[in-house]
Amino acid sequence: MRFNSPAILGLALLLGTTGRAMAQKTAVPPSAATDSAIASAHKAADAWLDQLDGAQYGPSWDDAGSAFQRASTKEQWIVTVQKVRGQVGPLGQRTVQKSQFTTTVPNLPVGEYVVMQYRTVSASGGFITETVVLQRDGARGWRVDSYVVKPA
C-alpha cells in the first residue's frame, strides 16, 4: 500500500512526537500497578480509536489529552486526520504489538504514560502501524496525547 508520506509525517509532527522519539522513552519495570494501568489505558485507546474508525474526528479531539489539544486546534486535527484516513481507507483488525508503561516520553512532561503500538489491517489488505500514547490525566483518566500512523 502506498501512503502520501507528507500527510503521515504531518500527522506525526502535528501531534508532537515521531516513532524514533517514542522509542527513546524510559520504561518502568512491570508490576501489578503498571499492568493495571496498561489495561485501563488499553480500554481508553480502543474507545478513542473506535471514534476515529467511526469518523467521529471532532469528538476524538474533545476526548484527547491536554498535550494533544495544545498540539493542534480541533479544526487542524479534523483536516489532518481526514486526509490520512482517506489515504489508508477503512481499517480492519488491530493487534496490539506492544504496550509499555513509562514516566517519560520525548516532547511531553514527566507523568504516567502508556505507549501502545498496534499492527492494523488496511483496506488494501496491507498493514499499518498505529502508535497511541496515553497519559493519566487525573480525574479524566487515561487520555490520548499522541497518535502516529505509518506503513508497517
The total number of structural domains that make up the chain = 1
CB 11 within 8 A of CB 150: no
The pTM score is 0.80
CATH label of the domain that carries residue 124: 3.10.450.100
Domain region containing 12? 5-151
Per-residue pLDDT, 31:
74
Given a cut of 70, is residue 21 above it in pLDDT? no
User: How does pLDDT run across 75-108, given as a tens digit for each residue?
Assistant: 999 999 999 888 888 899 999 999 999 999 988 8
Mean pLDDT of the chain: 83
